Chain A
Amino acid sequence: MSRIIEKKELVENMFEMVVEAPLIAAKAQPGHFVLVMPEEKGERIPLTIADFDRGAGTITLVIMVVGTTTKKTTRLAVGENLYALVGPLGHPSEIKDFGTVVMVAGGVGTAPIYPIARLLRETGNRVISIQGARTKGLFFWEEKIASVSHEHIITTDDGTYGRKGVVTGPLKEVLESDREKRVGCVYAIGPAIMMKFCSLATKPFGVRTIASLNSVMVDGTGMCGGCRVDIGGKTLFTCVDGPEFDAHSVDWDTLMHRQRIYLKEEKCSLDRYMEEAGIK
């Protein structure tokens, strides 16, 4: 169980892993997440399911290497097992015919956006995707996103590919040009700072905006409350109440601060691991 079937480095420090998990694959829906623990002494981290294949009994995870746990996970070889894999957790995305949807994907957020966009398109939506990254070399799954989009806009912060600038530029333009109010929903998934600014950008237009939060978790089943977020003044848990929330109600600054509680420990842990494992 939880055997790694395929692994490839999509771009530097970004891995796609296909994992054997028939029970999870059978129940997975776009928006769900799993908890992963790479080895016995490891930490438990949440990862949004990037794809699933019910027939093959597998799920796909896209993992950006940021710390010890993601490093350990992506260093596991094909044929090895994850120590623990739990899911599918959280609520699935709300899928219906919104008319037109704008799917904003930033960095690793491209992965969870893909199955949601695919299903929204299958449900009859017109899909406009805005895919952004810092620079050209960090783009992945471009064809996949294109294959489920009626319109596909690409941005890079440094202008090396697509439009120069961040995703909020085209996002505003799409909404400004939408005089008939066809856009029924905006999805924003990526770094918290990107989701915050997408939320600020869509707010004046009054268009419904959904973000998938990446809080720190331990159990992922509601038990610890570590992933608590302030949603419209109410304390909710990302794991059991989310992970998707109305972006306009999220207290983004609190979320971002809570993601940084363990910065010092994370660095200490990674340095120690890299030295032990003999990685430069």
Chain B
Amino acid sequence: MSTVEKKKKIIIPKKTPMPEQEPAVRRRNFEEVPFGYTPEQAQQEAERCIRCKKPSCMNGCPVNIDIPAFIGLIADGDYVGAARKIKESNCLPAICGRVCPQETQCERECSLAKKFEPVAIGRLERFAADYEREQGLIELPQRLPSNGMKIAVVGCGPAGLTVAGDLIVLGFQVTIFEAFHRPGGVLMYGIPEFRLPKAIVEKEVDYLSKLGVTIEFNQVIGKSITIEELFKNLGFSAVFIGVGAGLPSFLGIPGEDFGGVYSANEYLTRSNLMKAFLFPEFDTPIVKGSTVCVVGGGNVAMDAARTAVRLGADNVYIVYRRSRAELPARAEEVHHAEQEGIVFKLLSNPVEIFGDENRMVKAIKCQEMELGEPDASGRRRPVPKKDAYFTIDTDLVIIAIGGVANPLLTKSVPGLELNRWGNIVADEHGRTSLPRVWAGGDIVTGSATVIEAMGAGKKAATDIYKFLSSPAAEAPPWR
């Protein structure tokens, strides 16, 4: 009792800082920005946890990690135990510890957050996962004996990997079908190396492969194999669709077809997946701008802007039509971007892109905006200011304004209900309008976060297990 009281008295108001690369250095390399905690730092941070009787942090976690338990284990010095505790609910902890928006999830619910900075749950998660991996202490969990049933997972991103990880240990055979030649989905093509090293994604995927998950690369389901064939010809008992968001949106302004104008998807895919940042060692080229304008204010816009800095740009601007308060990006990403010298042109909306005689971009014209009444999203609507324009000379424009659902798979599945934006309609368990077909992640919700996709995958996996363990599963798999 007395020790608990003692702990209460010595709460350190701020999180233990995590060492990171200096902005001036990291601007020119693709190495990860934060170095992660040392065991001493992790222990110090874990001891900030006041071990609430009724912890609320878990309520903020889409995959229900037992946060107090793993933090307790770190405080006790059992780092590997902590990693395994996390893995009971989350098969990709090294990834989540890096890319989850903890400030709006677990850390927002932390009791400390009312008066002080919350416990750095994300950093501790990362520490535990990294420690286990770096010490070579990763152990495979016990698998239930094979039940003879096969699950097909379409898409090897965070949702699909979660479904695979959860069901493989329950005795299912799991095959993931991936359109690209590498695993990970957005973790590989979207999030840059300096925020999520690809070696870590590979290790986490490797962990699933060691558990027995099979990955079939270069398979576009709906094209080379249909969903119906997965059931009828290949004998799968259930299908989970987690194909991600899809087609990038453009602004619809003149000049978007000029060379040097990219969707963020293309820019990031060229750099991250195809390794264009290593051109010409790798064959895929990328336009390297000296003055770069990124349009949009989300995490993807920050990733694109920070990639442009590392590819050698002198000036990088974020052009966003609302104000700072509305920026959808995580605070940490905005902070890192500013540290790296990225300039925010807020309340600015592009109206035209100009090109040179070779039809390569040379300037972007923007209109100044002001905030009006709140719109349907509750955010104040940006309203154009009359006759208030400015032009930025630029040789690279990256459009990062989200996208729409990819129809490639959904169009190939008769009877699969879609909403008016083309996203798959799924209930809270991920069930779609078709029997034995579940869906989750961005293809259901539209652009969201890695952890939300994992949360959806987790719920679907639970429901698939429940369904396939019930008498209803006796019905023939297709029609």
Residues of A within 8 A of B (CB): 2, 23-24, 27, 37, 41-44, 68-69, 72, 83-89, 218-219, 221-226, 228, 230, 235, 237, 240, 251, 254, 257-258, 260-262, 265-266, 268-269, 272-273
Chain A residues positioned under 8 Å from B220 (CB to CB): 86-87, 89, 221
The number of chain B residues touching the other chain, given as a range, is: 35 or more
Say whether A219 contacts B287, CB under 8 Å.
Answer: no
Contact A219:B179 (CB < 8 A) given known A89-B223, A228-B250, A272-B280 = yes
Q: Is the interface of A mostly helix, strand, loop or mixed?
A: mixed
B421 within 8 A of A: no
Q: Nearest Cβ distance between residue B234 and chain A, in whole angstroms?
A: 11
Picked from B265, B266, B283, B406, the residue with its CB within 8 Å of the CB of A269 is B283
Q: Which of B222-253 contact A (CB under 8 A)?
A: 223-225, 244, 246-248, 250, 252
Residues of B within 8 A of A257 (CB): 257-259, 358-359
Asked if residues A23 and B225 are in contact (CB atoms below 8 Å), the reply is: yes
B408 within 8 Å of A (CB atoms): yes
Is B218 located at the chain interface by the 8 A CB criterion? yes
Residue of B180, B247, B274 touching A222 (CB-CB under 8 A): B247
Name A42's closest neighbour in chain B (CB-CB).
Answer: B283
- Check B173 for interface membership: any CB of A closer than 8 A: no
In the bound complex, do residue B266 and residue A222 qualify as a contact, i.e. CB atoms below 8 Å apart?
A: no
Q: Kindly state whether residue B35 has any CB partner on chain A within 8 Å.
A: no
Assess the B358–A222 pair: CB atoms within 8 A: no
**Known contacts A27-B223, A221-B408: does B281 contact A41 (CB below 8 Å)?**
yes
Minimum C-beta distance from B162 to chain A (A): 21
Are the CB atoms of B179 and A261 closer together than 8 Å?
A: no
B257 touches A228 (CB 8 A): yes
* Chain B hits for A266, CB < 8 A: 285
Q: Which of B224, B257, B283 contacts A254 (CB 8 A)?
A: B257
B98 within 8 A of A: no
B252: chain A residues within 8 A (beta carbon):
235
| Docked pose: A88 CA to B406 CA in angstroms | 17
Contact of B248 among A2, A27, A225, A272 (CB under 8 A): A225
Q: Output the least CB separation between B443 and chain A (Å).
A: 12
What are 22 A-B pairs with beta-carbon distances under 8 A? Answer: A23-B219, A24-B224, A42-B283, A68-B283, A86-B218, A86-B224, A87-B220, A218-B266, A218-B269, A219-B179, A219-B180, A221-B220, A223-B244, A223-B246, A225-B250, A228-B250, A235-B250, A240-B406, A254-B257, A254-B359, A261-B259, A266-B285
A37 to chain B, nearest CB (A): 6
Instruction: Give the secondary structure class of B's interface.
Output: loop
Beyond A41-B281, A225-B247, A273-B283, 6 additional pairs, beta carbon < 8 A: A86-B219, A222-B406, A224-B270, A230-B257, A240-B408, A260-B358
Q: How far is the CB of A223 from chain B (nearest CB, A)?
A: 6
> Which residues from A are CB-within-8-Å of B225?
23
Chain B contacts for A272, CB-based, 8 A: 280
**Neighbouring A residues of B284 by C-beta, 8 Å:** 43-44, 218
Q: Is the CB of B250 within 8 A of A269?
A: no
- Max count, chain B CB within 10 A of own CB: residue among A41, A87, A89, A262: A41
Residue with the greatest number of chain A CB neighbours at <10 A, chosen from B180, B225, B358: B180
Contact flag A265-B247 (CB < 8 Å), given A218-B274, A224-B266, A240-B408: no
Report the minimal beta-carbon distance from B72 to chain A, rounded to whole angstroms.
42
On chain B, the residues within 8 Å of A85 by CB distance are: 218
- Determine how close the nearest CB of chain A comes to the CB of B458; give it in whole angstroms: 25
Instruction: Write the chain A residue with the least CB distance to B270.
Output: A218
Shortest B288–chain A CB gap in Å is 10
A44 close to B274 (CB less than 8 A): yes
